[in-house]
Amino acid sequence: MTNELGYDHVLHNKFRFRCATFYRRNKFICTKEAHKDRTLVTTLEWKKNDGDEDNNNDEQNNDEFVIHVVNCHLSGGAAPERRLRQVNDGLEQISKWNRALERDILAQQQQQQQSNKKRKKSSKGATTEVHHHRNAGIIVCGDFNSDGNTAVRKLLVEGYVDPNWYEPQYPNLKLTSRRLEHTFGPFVDVYESAYGSNVCDGDYADNVHSILGGGQELSSLPRPGIAASIANDSAR
C-alpha cells in the first residue's frame, strides 16, 4: 500500500503497540531515526525534485527545511512520571542530534583551514545546514494516554517541569528529581488551536460547530489522549 500511495515509513522496532511515521517519498527523506521508550523520533528533510509537479508548485520549494517528529504511544495508567520521561527523552534526542551535527561540522572546518577558498565555501554550507536543524519544526504527536493538566503538557507548552510540581490527578506521585526543560520554545496544541479549547479534556468550545463549519459531529473529533504539538512555524 505504501508503494502504491507513494509513502515510505519508519516503524518502531520494539513494544507491542508500535508507532509508525509515514511520509511522502517524493517530498521528504528520513535522515535520522531513534527508537526510544514508547517514542519514535525521526528527522525528515525536504527533498527537492525538479521533475515533480507538486514540488514545483509548492511555495517552499526554493527553501530547504527540516522537520523532527516525536511519534508517541506513551505508557498508560498511574505512571505520569514515565510519560514525562518518555517525551523528555524524545526531545533530548533531537538536541543530541543537533549537538553532534555542530561538532562534526566544526571538525570538518578545522580540517579545511589550509585552503581559504575551500573553507569559506564549506563554512557557508555548514552554517546553512546547522541553521536548518536548529530552526526545524518539531511535531510531538500520538497517543499520550492522559489528558488535562499533565506534566507532558506542561513540558511542551510551558517548556519545563520543576521537581516540586505535581499532576492534579496524581498529587502524591513525584514526577522528577530535577528540573526538566527544553530549548525549542513553547509548543502549540494544534487541536486547541483548531477547535478553540482543550479537546482532550472534553471541554469543547461553545462555538465548536461554527469552527467546524457545522458539518462535523462531536463524536468524530479526536478521542482523548490523541494530541499533536508544533514548535516552529516551518512545520505547519
* Residue 60 confidence (pLDDT): 44
Give residues with Cβ within 8 angstroms of 24, minimum separation 6: 6, 7
Q: State how far Cα 82 lies from the chain centre.
A: 18
pLDDT tens column, 147-202:
888 999 999 999 999 999 999 999 999 999 999 999 898 898 887 777 766 555 44
pTM of the model as a whole: 0.76
Between the alpha carbon of residue 132 and those of residues 50, 51, 111, 120, 147, the distances in Å are 21, 24, 23, 19, 32
| Distance between CA atoms of residues 194 and 212, nearest Å | 9
Least confident of 38-52, 84-98, 150-164, 221-235: 221-235
How much is the pLDDT for 61?
Answer: 45
pLDDT at 56 over 70: no
| Predicted pLDDT at 118 | 52
Given a contact cutoff of 8 angstroms between Cβ atoms, the answer to whether 181 and 234 are in contact is no
Task: Between 163 and 14, name the one with better pLDDT.
Answer: 163
Greater pLDDT, 15 or 79:
79
pLDDT at res. 136: 85
Q: Is residue 116 very low, low, confident or very high in pLDDT (cuts 50, 70, 90)? A: low
For residue 208, pLDDT over 50 is answered with no
What pLDDT was estimated at residue 77? 94
pLDDT for the residue 204: 43
- The per-residue DSSP string of the chain comes to -HHHHTEEEEE-SSSSS--EEEEETTTEEEEEEEE-SSEEEEEEEE---TT-HHHHH-TTTTS--EEEEEEEE---SS-HHHHHHHHHHHHHHHHHHHHHHHHHHHHHHHHTTT-HHHHHHHHHHHHHHHHHHHT-EEEEEEE-S--SS-HHHHHHHHSEE-TT--BTTBTT----SS-EE-SS---EEHHHHHHSS-GGGT---TTHHHHTTT---GGGSPPTTEEEEEESGGG-
Arithmetic mean of pLDDT, 76-102: 95
Average pLDDT, whole number, for the chain?
78
Higher pLDDT pick, 8 / 189: 8
